[in-house]
Amino acid sequence: MSKITTFLTFNDRAEEAVNLYVSLFPNSRIKKTTHYGEAGGPMPKGTVMTMTFELDGQEYVALNGGPSFTFTHGVSLMVTCDTQEEIDRYWAKLTEGGKEVQCGWLVDRFGLSWQIVPRILMDGIGGSDKARAQRMMAAMMQMVKMDIATLKRAYEG
């Protein structure tokens, strides 16, 4: 385990969330699962307590912590994509039962916010040509799901 690990606290659906996330991303796996026992906690004995897992090699821990825990847009997971097919696949799977937001943001059915972002957007708005960066940014602000072709056209003017 690395020194700093993202810790995600769900109400009671950590196992379902982790199974979805691990199924979506390459180089992903569940490393360890613990269960609530006799000592108690917010969940019944035998319920999944924590799951340590990797998404594309990055380690996370998920906890079933009870209803006092919720996610906000203040924290999101950003997925950098190289192709429109990647964007479309992640977008479709993560918005099932969730909701689309704006500018490549979505909230999955567990309440976790994600940003599904093409690499060219990050390169374009961070580039040295300010006029191109502004056109790309303006195009992005009009989108819900990112569209690489539209971003490229805006960048080129």
| pLDDT value of position 32 | 98
Q: What is the pLDDT of residues 62-79, one digit of tens each?
A: 999 999 999 999 999 999
Task: Note the pTM of the prediction, 2 decimals.
Answer: 0.93
Select from 80, 76, 87 the least CA-distant residue to 113: 76
Select from 91, 59, 67, 75 the least CA-distant residue to 13: 67
Spatial separation of the C-alpha atoms in residues 12 and 53, rounded to whole Å: 17
> Is pLDDT at 1 greater than 80 in this prediction?
no
Spatial separation of the C-alpha atoms in residues 116 and 147, rounded to whole Å: 11
Q: What is the pLDDT of residues 130-155, one digit of tens each?
A: 999 999 999 999 999 999 999 999 99
> Is pLDDT at 90 greater than 70 in this prediction?
yes
Q: What is the pLDDT of residues 22-59, one digit of tens each?
A: 999 999 999 999 999 988 788 889 999 999 999 999 99
